Amino acid sequence: MANQHRKTIFTTIAIDSETNKLVEKICKRYSLKKGEVVKLAFVYLDKASINPSETPESTKAELRKINKRQDDLIRFIRHYEEEQLNPMIRTSHSITTKFDTISKGLVDSLAENIQDNRNILAKLSEVIGNSFKSQNDVLNNHANAINSLSKIFKQGNKKIEQIIYLYIELSNCGVMDSKKKENLKSQITNLINSQ
């Protein structure tokens, strides 16, 4: 009963003695039967889409094709680098340079403003000390001046922190984030121009 399910029909093929020797050699090398060698060979030819009637191409021709493909890839990579990557790097460097220049200018301006405010505060306290006779009035005026200058410093520092944060965001933007860049630039301009 078990043999009834395994009814495989075998056929024969005619091959010359030279081909038979080649088949036997492959059978011995890989420990296969002749039928298995023939079956595997035909499956391989079918999967690889190889036409057995065509002569195989030489290894040198195949290597030339591979080298040509590699050269094409290298040309593409170089072209992409020249057209895309180098402009991105130049733009990024330009943004970084502008950011450095602006931040140095802001730091210098802030230091100058602080020194001017210190000078004004020193002059103000001298004038207040000379102008008013009572100690109570002098202390009240100093406290008011210090509070207003403190608010100005806090507002200025907060404004500078916002500007620096926006410049950091701007420098982190990719080349393709033009909308975000324009938005950040307009925010920076608004902060700089606001009182």
Average pLDDT over residues 164-182: 74
Q: Per this entry, what is the length of the chain? A: 195
Per the domain annotation, does 86 fall within a domain? no
> Same domain for 49 and 109?
no
Which tens digits make up the pLDDT trace of 2-61?
A: 555 667 787 888 889 998 999 999 999 999 998 899 899 889 888 878 787 877 677 787
Full domain range(s) for residue 29? 12-54
3-state secondary structure 68-128: HHHHHHHHHHHHHHHHHHHHHHHHHHHHHHHHHHHHHHHHHHHHHHHHHHHHHHHHHHHHH
Residue 129: the pLDDT is 65
- Looking at the structure, do residues 50 and 100 belong to the same domain, yes or no? no
Rounded CA separation 46/40 (Å): 10
User: What does pTM read for this prediction?
Assistant: 0.30
- Does 8 or 71 have the greater pLDDT score? 71
Asked if the structure places residue 81 within a domain, the reply is no
Judgement on whether residues 110 and 182 belong to the same structural domain of the protein: yes
Within a domain: residue 104?
yes
Domain assignment of residue 168, yes or no:
yes
Same domain? For 188 and 125 the reply is yes
Q: Is residue 7 part of a domain?
A: no
Q: What is the mean pLDDT of residues 74-97?
A: 87
pLDDT class of 1 with cuts at 50, 70, 90:
very low
User: Does residue 31 come out as left (phi exceeding 0), alpha (psi in the -120 to 50 range) or beta?
Assistant: left
Question: What pLDDT, on a 0 to 100 scale, did the predictor assign at position 131?
Answer: 65
For residue range 89-147, list pLDDT tens digits in order.
Answer: 888 888 888 888 888 888 888 888 889 888 888 888 877 766 655 666 667 777 888 88
Residue 23 and residue 105 in one domain: no
In a domain, 71, yes or no: no
Highest averaged pLDDT of the listed ranges 78-92, 116-130, 178-192: 78-92
Q: Are residues 116 and 41 in the same domain?
A: no
Q: What Cα–Cα distance (Å) separates residue 63 from each residue in 52, 58, 66?
A: 21, 9, 5
Q: What is the pLDDT of residue 25?
A: 93
Counting the structural domains of the chain, the total is 2
| Spatial CA neighbour of 121 closest among 138, 152, 146 | 146
Query: Is the pLDDT reported for residue 71 higher than 50?
Result: yes
Largest CA distance in the chain: 132
Tell me, yes or no, whether 105 and 155 share the same domain.
yes
59 belongs to a structural domain: no
In a domain, 49, yes or no: yes
pLDDT for the residue 122: 87
How far apart CA 75 and CA 82 sit, in angstroms, is 10
